[in-house]
C-alpha cells in the first residue's frame, strides 16, 4: 500500500499543470450538465408549484360574440362534478397605454371588472403592493409580466386610450396572473375597480365580454366534459378557448431550449474530457513502460498499478466535481430567475430545488471518470517485465519501430525536400495520431458550438427578416383598431388608397372555429376529437400581407383554408383534404390548400379569406388590424406618425420592427448568458486539452527537439513549427465545425420547437460573423499549442537530449 501511496503522490507532484487542467475539464463538464438538469427540473417545478398555489385554470374561455349565453354556460359548468369554474368576469379590450408620457407598444389589454377576492380559480398572488379584496377607486392591479418588462413602479400613473378620450389610473399592486403572465406574452389583464369600470366603459359603444377559467381535477378528462356539453347543448363550443398547453408553453419554452442544448453540449464536453483522460493515461503507460516493468519485476501487482491511476483521477474528480456542482447552483438560479421573473414576488423569492438532481449528476460524472480510468489503465496488465526492461515497450512494438526506422531511408520522396518548419509541424501531427485526432475533434466541436450560438442569436435578433417563417406577417406597418365606434373603415381605406407612399394594404381579423370530431378516413389513424382553432380572416391577399406557408399555398377563394402544422398533425389532414369548420355556429367545408408554421398559438390555427364568411354574411366586417406595405420601407416611421396623428381616437399604428422587437429582444436577452457561457467554456476547454496533448507530445519528443536546437534551430522556430501544424489541423476542423453548427445542431432545436409549432427553424446565415467566430476556435488551438511549447524555450539542448 505504501508503494501505491508513494506513486500516487509522485503523480500529483510531478504533473501539477496536467492534473490541474484535467480537474478543470471535469469541473466544466459537471458545471454544464448540472446546470442544464437543474434549469429543466426547476422550470417545470416552479411553474407547477405556482399554478397549484393559484389553483390555476386548465382552460380559459372567452365569451364575446354572443354565441353562448354566459349565465347559462356558467351554470352548466357549476353543475359538473370534478371541475371548478371561476367567476364569470366582465371585460373590455383596449390597446393604447401610456406611462410617463411614453406609449407602451404591442400590449393588448383585457380591462377586467374585478370581482371581490378571493377567486376560486386563478387566484391572484401578490408580488408588490397592499393586498385588498378589490382595487380601490382610481387604482388598478397589473400583472408581473407587464410590470417587470416596462419599468413601471407601484404608485405610478398610467393612461389608457378609449377612443375620444383617455383616463388615468394609479398602479396600486402587482400580481402574478398565471394565464396571462408568461414571458413574451403580449396580453395583460388589468384589474379595475367596478365603479371605474362602469364609469369608463358604460358609455362606450359595444357590450361586455366575459372570461371564465376551468380547473379540472384530472385535466386528461376534459374532452369527456366537452363531449357531454356538446350532447346536452346540441352544439359545439363556438367561442375562443385557450388550452393549458398554450398557458404553460411560454413559461417553459426558453428554458427547455437552453436546457436541452446545454445537456447535449455538456455530454459532448464530458466525452471529450473522458477521451482526454484516456489519452493521458495511455500515454503515461507508454512513457513509463520500462518503469512499470521494473515495478512488476519487484512484485507490484497489476491491480495496484491500476489502483495508482484510479486513486489519482478519483482525487482529481472530487476536486473538480464539488466546485462544479456549487457553481451550477448559482448559475442555474441566474438563468431560471431571468427567464421566470414573472413568477417572482417581493414576498418570496423563487425557491430553487434540484439538489438531489445535481448530486446525481456529480455521482454519474464521477462514475464515468472511474470507469474510463479503469478501462484505459487496464492496459498496464499487458506489460511484460522482461520486454519492458529490455525494449522500453512490448517486443512486438519494438519490432514495428525497428522496421519503420529501417524503411525510412528507402522512401522515394522524403521530408528532406520540404521546408524544415513544415516538416517539424507535420512530423508532430503524424507521429502522434491519437492526439491529432483528439485535437481535430475538439476544434470541430468548439467551432460548431460557437457557430450555432452565433447563428441562433443573430437569427432571433434579426427576426424581422424571417417574420413570415415564424408565422407572423411581413408587412411594414400594423394598424390596430381599438375603438370601432370612432373608426370609419371606408374613410380609412380611401385615405390609404390616396397616399402615394402606400403600395398595398389589407385588413386582418380573427374568429374562433370549431372542428368537430370525426372518423378518420386514413387507415391506421385514430379518430379525432373536436378542437377549437384560432382562425385568421384576411380581406386581401395573404402573400401581399407577407404570410408564408411550409407547403402548398395560402387560401385565395371562399372554399379554401390553410392550416397550422399542429392542426394538420392532430386532425390527420394534408393538402387537398376537406376539413369541416364551424364558424359563428355555421359549418363550412373547406379544401386545405397549404400548411404553415407559427409560434403564435403553437400552430393551432388556420387562415381563410373574408369570402368564406361573406358567402353567408354579406355585411360582415371585423377589421381589427390593417397591414400596410410601402414603396419605400424607410418611410415607415413617418407614415406611422401621420396615421397616429390623424386617427388618434380610433387606432394605433406601429412599424413591424417595433412589434417584433418588443417580443424577441427579450428572447435574445435570455439567450445571451447561457449561449455565451457555453461558447466560452468550449474555448477554454479547447485551449486546455490542446495544451495537455501538446505538452505530452513534446515531452515524448524532447530528445528530438534537443537535437534540433543543437543543430542551430532557434526555440521560437521550433515552437512556431509545432503551432503551425496544430493551427493547420484546427483550420480543417473549424471548416467541418461550421457545417455542423449551421446544418446539424439546428436539428436539435427543431426537435424542441416542433411541439411549439415550429418544424423548420428560420435561421439567417451571416457568413462574416460565422467565419469570425469559427476563427476563435483556431486561435484557441494556436494559443494552447504555443503555451505548451514553452518548455522547449526554457530548457537547454543538453538537458533535452539527456531526458
| pLDDT tens figures, 326-341 | 988 888 888 887 777 7
pLDDT of residue 323: 92
From 217, 236, 255, give the residue that closes a domain. Answer: 236
Mean pLDDT rounded to a whole number for the chain: 82
Tell me: the pLDDT tens digits for 563-605? 999 999 988 899 999 999 988 778 899 999 999 999 888 888 9
Tell me: the pLDDT tens digits for 51-82? 999 999 999 998 877 778 899 999 999 999 99
Q: Which residues of 371-396 are buried (b: 16+ CB within 10 A; e: fewer)?
A: ebbeebbebbeebbeebbeebbbbee
In this prediction, residues 358-363 reach a mean pLDDT of 89
Least confident of 138-147, 281-290, 455-464, 548-557: 281-290
Do the domain assignments include residue 417? no
Tell me, yes or no, whether 639 and 506 share the same domain. Answer: yes
What are 786's three cell numbers? 504555443
Please say whether the beta carbons of 111 and 192 come within 8 A.
Answer: yes
Do the domain assignments include residue 453? yes
pLDDT of residue 289: 67
d(CA 214, CA 76): 12
Q: Which residues contact 752 (CB under 8 A, 6 or more apart)?
A: 253, 256, 257, 260
pLDDT at 442 over 80: yes
pLDDT higher at 299 or 333: 333
Do the domain assignments include residue 383? yes
For the chain, helix (H) and strand (E) counts, in that order, are: 26, 23
Tell me, yes or no, whether 536 and 623 share the same domain. Answer: yes
pLDDT of residue 138: 92
pLDDT at 181 over 60: yes
pLDDT at 409 over 70: no
Tell me, yes or no, whether 624 and 736 share the same domain. Answer: no
pLDDT of residue 471: 87
Do the domain assignments include residue 577? yes
Name which of 428, 417, 421 is nearest 716 in CA terms: 421
Domain count of the chain?
4
Range with top average pLDDT, 164-173, 276-285, 783-792: 164-173
d(CA 59, CA 202): 28
Tell me, yes or no, whether 479 and 451 share the same domain. Answer: no
pLDDT of residue 405: 47
Tell me, yes or no, whether 579 and 548 share the same domain. Answer: yes
Q: Residue 161: give the domain boundaries.
A: 60-236
Name which of 180, 173, 175 is nearest 62 in CA terms: 180
Please say whether the beta carbons of 753 and 257 come within 8 A.
Answer: yes
pLDDT at 158 over 70: yes
d(CA 573, CA 577): 6
pLDDT at 191 over 90: yes
pLDDT at 506 over 60: yes
Least confident of 215-219, 367-371, 509-513, 772-776: 509-513
pLDDT of residue 57: 93
pLDDT of residue 418: 61
Tell me, yes or no, whether 172 and 86 share the same domain. Answer: yes
In this prediction, residues 84-88 reach a mean pLDDT of 92
pLDDT at 432 over 80: no
Please say whether the beta carbons of 372 and 278 come within 8 A.
Answer: yes
pLDDT of residue 794: 66
Least confident of 439-443, 665-669, 671-675, 738-742: 665-669
d(CA 661, CA 656): 8
Tell me: the pLDDT tens digits for 100-126? 878 777 778 899 999 888 889 999 999
Q: Residue 465: which pLDDT band, with cuts at 50, 70 and 90?
A: confident
Tell me, yes or no, whether 629 and 485 share the same domain. Answer: yes
From 638, 662, 686, give the residue that closes a domain. Answer: 662
β-pair type (187-192, 139-143): antiparallel
pLDDT of residue 412: 47
Do the domain assignments include residue 226? yes
pLDDT of residue 197: 92
Tell me: the pLDDT tens digits for 607-617? 999 888 876 66
In this prediction, residues 706-716 reach a mean pLDDT of 75
From 643, 662, 681, give the residue that closes a domain. Answer: 662
Tell me, yes or no, whether 670 and 563 share the same domain. Answer: no
To the nearest whole percent, how much of the chain has pLDDT over 90? Answer: 22
In this prediction, residues 639-646 reach a mean pLDDT of 87
pLDDT at 355 over 90: no
pLDDT at 156 over 50: yes
pLDDT higher at 343 or 122: 122
Q: Residue 3: which pLDDT band, with cuts at 50, 70 and 90?
A: low
Do the domain assignments include residue 418? no
Tell me, yes or no, whether 48 and 74 share the same domain. Answer: no
pLDDT higher at 803 or 152: 152
pLDDT at 373 over 50: yes
Tell me: the pLDDT tens digits for 449-461? 899 989 988 888 8
pLDDT of residue 415: 52
Q: Residue 550: which pLDDT band, with cuts at 50, 70 and 90?
A: very high
Tell me, yes or no, whether 687 and 611 share the same domain. Answer: no
pLDDT of residue 556: 92
What are 587's three cell numbers? 359549418
pLDDT at 366 over 90: yes
Amino acid at each position: 500500500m505504501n508503494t501505491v501511496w508513494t506513486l500516487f503522490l509522485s503523480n500529483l507532484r510531478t504533473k501539477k499543470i496536467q492534473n490541474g487542467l484535467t480537474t478543470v475539464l471535469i469541473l466544466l463538464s459537471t458545471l454544464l450538465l448540472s446546470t442544464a438538469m437543474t434549469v429543466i427540473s426547476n422550470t417545470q417545478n416552479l411553474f407547477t408549484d405556482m399554478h397549484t398555489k393559484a389553483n390555476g385554470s386548465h382552460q380559459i374561455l372567452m365569451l364575446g360574440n354572443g354565441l353562448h349565453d354566459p349565465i347559462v354556460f356558467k351554470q352548466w359548468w357549476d353543475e359538473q362534478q370534478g371541475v371548478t369554474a371561476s367567476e364569470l368576469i366582465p371585460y373590455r379590450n383596449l390597446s393604447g397605454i401610456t406611462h410617463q408620457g411614453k406609449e407602451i407598444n404591442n400590449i393588448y389589454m383585457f380591462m377586467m371588472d374585478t370581482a371581490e377576492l378571493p377567486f376560486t380559480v386563478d387566484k391572484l398572488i401578490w408580488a408588490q403592493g397592499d393586498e385588498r379584496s378589490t382595487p380601490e377607486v382610481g387604482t388598478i392591479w397589473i400583472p408581473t409580466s407587464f410590470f417587470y418588462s416596462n419599468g413601471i413602479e407601484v404608485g405610478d400613473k398610467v393612461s389608457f386610450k378609449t377612443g375620444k378620450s383617455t383616463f388615468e389610473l394609479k398602479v396600486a399592486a402587482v400580481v402574478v396572473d398565471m394565464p396571462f403572465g408568461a414571458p413574451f406574452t403580449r396580453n395583460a389583464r388589468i384589474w379595475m375597480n367596478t365603479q371605474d369600470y362602469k364609469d369608463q366603459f358604460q358609455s362606450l359603444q359595444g357590450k361586455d365580454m366575459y372570461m371564465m377559467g376551468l380547473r379540472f381535477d384530472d385535466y386528461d378528462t376534459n374532452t369527456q366534459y366537452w363531449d357531454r356539453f356538446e350532447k346536452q347543448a346540441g352544439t359545439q363550443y363556438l367561442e375562443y378557448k385557450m388550452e393549458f398547453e398554450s398557458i404553460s408553453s411560454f413559461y417553459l419554452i426558453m428554458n427547455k431550449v437552453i436546457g436541452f442544448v446545454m445537456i447535449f453540449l455538456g455530454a459532448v464536453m464530458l466525452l471529450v474530457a473522458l477521451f482526454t483522460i484516456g489519452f493521458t493515461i495511455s500515454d503515461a503507460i507508454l512513457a513509463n513502460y520500462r518503469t512499470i516493468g521494473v515495478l512488476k519485476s519487484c512484485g507490484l501487482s497489476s491491480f495496484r498499478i491500476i489502483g495508482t491511476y484510479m486513486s489519482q483521477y478519483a482525487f482529481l474528480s472530487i476536486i473538480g466535481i464539488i466546485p462544479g456542482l456549487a457553481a451550477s447552483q448559482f448559475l442555474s438560479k441566474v438563468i431560471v430567475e431571468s427567464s421566470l421573473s414573472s413568477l417572482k414576488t417581493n414576498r418570496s423569492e423563487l425557491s430553487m430545488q434540484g439538489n438531489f438532481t445535481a448530486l446525481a449528476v456529480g455521482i454519474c460524472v464521477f462514475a464515468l471518470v472511474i470507469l474510463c480510468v479503469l478501462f484505459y489503465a487496464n492496459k498496464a496488465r499487458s506489460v511484460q517485465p522482461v520486454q519492458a526492461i529490455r525494449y522500453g515497450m512490448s517486443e512486438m512494438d519494438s519490432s514495428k519501430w525497428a522496421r519503420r526506422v529501417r524503411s525510412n531511408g528507402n522512401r522515394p520522396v522524403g521530408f528532406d525536400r520540404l521546408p524544415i518548419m513544415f516538416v517539424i509541424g507535420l512530423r508532430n501531427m503524424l507521429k502522434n495520431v491519437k492526439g491529432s485526432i483528439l485535437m481535430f475533434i475538439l476544434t470541430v466541436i468548439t467551432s460548431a458550438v460557437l457557430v450555432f450560438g452565433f447563428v441562433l442569436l443573430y437569427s432571433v435578433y434579426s427576426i424581422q427578416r424571417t417574420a413570415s417563417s415564424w408565422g407572423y406577417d411581413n408587412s411594414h406597418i400594423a394598424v390596430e383598431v381599438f375603438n370601432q365606434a370612432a373608426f370609419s373603415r371606408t374613410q380609412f381605406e380611401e385615405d390609404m388608397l390616396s397616399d402615394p407612399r402606400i403600395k398595398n394594404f389589407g385588413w386582418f381579423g380573427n374568429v374562433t372555429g370549431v372542428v368537430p370530431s370525426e372518423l378518420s378516413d386514413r387507415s391506421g389513424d385514430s379518430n379525432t376529437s373536436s378542437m377549437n382553432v384560432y382562425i385568421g380572416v384576411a380581406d386581401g391577399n395573404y402573400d401581399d400581407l407577407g404570410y408564408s406557408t411550409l407547403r402548398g399555398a395560402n387560401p385565395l377563394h371562399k372554399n379554401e383554408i390553410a392550416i397550422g402544422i399542429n392542426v394538420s398533425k392532430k386532425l390527420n389532414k394534408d393538402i387537398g383534404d376537406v376539413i369541416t369548420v364551424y364558424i359563428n355556429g355555421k359549418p363550412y367545408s373547406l379544401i386545405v390548400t397549404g400548411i404553415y408554421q407559427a409560434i403564435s398559438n403553437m400552430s393551432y390555427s388556420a387562415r381563410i379569406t373574408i369570402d368564406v364568411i361573406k358567402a353567408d354574411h354579406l355585411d360582415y366586417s371585423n377589421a381589427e388590424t390593417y397591414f400596410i406595405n410601402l414603396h419605400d420601407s424607410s418611410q415607415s416611421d413617418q407614415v406611422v406618425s401621420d396615421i397616429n396623428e390623424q386617427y388618434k381616437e380610433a387606432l394605433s399604428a406601429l412599424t413591424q420592427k417595433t412589434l417584433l422587437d418588443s417580443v424577441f429582444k427579450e428572447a435574445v436577452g435570455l439567450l445571451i448568458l447561457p449561449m455565451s457561457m457555453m461558447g466560452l467554456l468550449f474555448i477554454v476547454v479547447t485551449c486546455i486539452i490542446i495544451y495537455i496533448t501538446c505538452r505530452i507530445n513534446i515531452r515524448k519528443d524532447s530528445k528530438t527537439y534537443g537535437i534540433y536546437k543543437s543543430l542551430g534551430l532557434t526555440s521560437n522556430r521550433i515552437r512556431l513549427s509545432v503551432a503551425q501544424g496544430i493551427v493547420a489541423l484546427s483550420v480543417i476542423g473549424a471548416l467541418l465545425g461550421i457545417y455542423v453548427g449551421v446544418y446539424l445542431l439546428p436539428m436539435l432545436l427543431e426537435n424542441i420547437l416542433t411541439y411549439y409549432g415550429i418544424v423548420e427553424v428560420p435561421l439567417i446565415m451571416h457568413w462574416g460573423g460565422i467565419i469570425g467566430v469559427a476563427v476563435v476556435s483556431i486561435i484557441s488551438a494556436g494559443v494552447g499549442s504555443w503555451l505548451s511549447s514553452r518548455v522547449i524555450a526554457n530548457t537547454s539542448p543538453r538537458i533535452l537530449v539527456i531526458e
